[in-house]
Amino acid sequence: MKAKKYILIGFLGLILFSGCTKNFDDMNIDPNNPTPETIDPDFLLSNALISGTMDIDLHQRIHSLTVDIFAQYIANEGFTTDRFIPVEGWTNSYWAKHWTWVNAMNDIIINQKDNTLKSNTVQIARIWRVWLFDRATDLFGDMPYSEAANGTGILPKYDTQKDIYYDMVKELKEAAAALDANKMNPGVNDLIFGGDVAKWKKFANSLRLRLAMRMSEVDPAKAKAEAEDAVASELVLASNNESVKILRTESYKLWGFYYCYPTYYSWGELAMSKSMENLLTGLGGIDFPASTDGIANVSVPAKVDPRGPVYFNVTRLTTGATSAYVGLWRGILPGLPLEEGQKAVNVKTNNSRLGLRYVGTVASNGTVTLDNDQNMTLMPYSEVCFLKAEGAVRGWNMGGAAKDFYEAGVRASMLETGIDNASVETYLVSENPNVNGTTVAFNNTVGDHNTQLEKIITQKYIANFPDNGWEAFNDYRRLALPALIPFVAPDPTAVVEVGSTTWKGSIRRLIYPATEAIVNAANYKEVVARIGSDKTTTRVWWDAKN
């Protein structure tokens, strides 16, 4: 009987053990230390979407105080970037964060590639990874790409920017084609389109059009082929309602991210550059608007692009200006020496700063309340119009006429800025030039700085304000357009290219973080030998024209 009892117990134990082994692996998973395989990829996507547009610290340092200064959207912020010297600590922070974002996207792409339920999340991650790498490679040039953040632990080689661009356009095409509206989507975890797969397809194709145009001066055949293919299906952004925006509203403050401009404004920043003033003054022949808040206009241009007074305020005492400078609308020369920048005439609060539309509201007594919290535009519909217009001017098949695309872009930007239709129609036929000589009417090409290409890039530069100084900086390096004032006084310690005082400037790229020469020494040495030198004057691959 005892033998039978032990046999029975053993048999039951075998059954129980057999049943438990199906969940044995789960018993060995530490819920407090999740791995990429156990995290819902939609959560990884959410974090990378919001953090990839940068928290307020990194956004200020890289977006506002570096890119926007080099693009001359703003001026005289009081840092070495005003004088052509990037801040290494800021560069290091951006470089490190970039790999965090890319690593999250690679986790999704690699670990979920066979998960049919998460196929759309994988494709969105591929698109977002391209968006992240596009910004980074345009700042640095050649960089780790094919071997980067892939979980192998191998020190990554630096891919050429040409190879990176070729792979990015391939990724965008493949991802757009693989997106399927009939499959599960990330839903609320998609902080851009809320899981709308059709809009992600349009973003992917529009981004491919952007990248294609970037190759226009160095690889025109590839640029033409990619641009034409991107627009052929008509699956590109088609209205302001499809503009690509990260939703920085109340619910996303839980992530610790805020719309940044009200904070910078409260610190006395975001002053208009003299170049921006020159581009806007006179353009389109619209009267400068009368004051509506009790602050008299003392010195403003007679005619102005109607977006100008929206983009930048007339100075007012309640925003920090001294009394002698209230009622002015003007910008500050770029690249002033430190001592010049500190003079009263050049102090930021004594000059026009970012418009209240982007930072808050103003009471009838002139008191400003910094309460604005808008979404951040990553790619406006107007940009797609101007990309098509440029392609058409180049003779590419964009599916229409350059003039029509150009005017559609202007209308979209004006509508987004709240300009009335009557003013827009007057503006579009105006031959009233800005300070540089550029006019709005597309077929009016008399005079300097008034080619159709310069009109397109000037309007694109204006329309991309304030969130896309990245594209303004890229176009400026690619084409030397629009006409901007050379930096007044690059720092004597900066490496300045010969002739830079009459040329578009010496900043071609950011140098790699110093740590790369230590932690990735062999690959760093190889890339420096290939590009010639790790300097701000070294051209990135697509910067080939001027």
**351 or 257, higher pLDDT:** 351
Does domain 53-86+258-510 sit in CATH 1.25.40.390? Answer: yes
Q: pLDDT class for 153, splitting at 50, 70, 90?
A: confident
The pLDDT, as a whole number, for residue 25 is 42
Q: In percent, how much of the chain has pLDDT > 90?
A: 70
Reading the block at residue 255, the tokens are 């992530």
> Which DSSP symbol is given to 61?
I
Looking at the predicted structure, is the pLDDT value of residue 254 above 60? no
Please check whether residue 255 is in contact with residue 234, taking contact to mean a CB–CB distance below 8 angstroms. Answer: no
Q: Does the pTM of the predicted model rise above 0.85?
A: yes
Task: Give the three-class secondary structure for 245.
Answer: strand
The torsion defined by the Cα of 65, 70, 74 and 79, in degrees rounded to 10, comes to 40
Are 109 and 102 within 8 A, CB to CB?
no
Contact call for residues 469 and 63 (beta carbons, < 8 A): yes
Whether residue 267 is predicted with pLDDT greater than 80 in this model: the reply is: yes
The residue extents of the domains of the chain are 53-86+258-510, 114-236+518-546
- Give the pLDDT score at 500: 45
- Mean pLDDT of the 429-435 span: 98
The answer to whether 289 touches 309, Cβ cutoff 8 Å, is yes
Cα–Cα dist 389/216, whole Å: 14
At residue 404, the pLDDT reads 98
pLDDT for 263 equals 84
380-417 burial code (b ≥16 CB/10 A, e <16): bbbbbbbbbbbbbbbebebeeebbbbbbbbbbbbbbbb
Tens digit of pLDDT for each residue in 201-229? 999 999 999 999 999 999 999 999 999 99
Q: At residue 52, does pLDDT exceed 70?
A: yes
- As a CATH number, domain 114-236+518-546 is 1.25.40.390
For residue 488, what pLDDT is reported? 81
Place of tokens 């690959």: 523
Closest CA to 317 of 328, 301, 308: 328
Helix (H, G, I), strand (E, B) or coil at 211: helix
What pLDDT score was predicted for residue 317?
84
Determine what percent of the chain is predicted with pLDDT higher than 70: 86
Give the model confidence (pLDDT) of 459-473 as tens digits: 999 999 999 999 999
Question: In this model, does residue 422 exceed pLDDT 70?
Answer: yes
Q: Do 53-86+258-510 and 114-236+518-546 fold alike per CATH? A: yes
Q: What is the pLDDT of residue 148?
A: 93
Q: Provide the 10 A C-beta neighbour count for residue 322.
A: 12
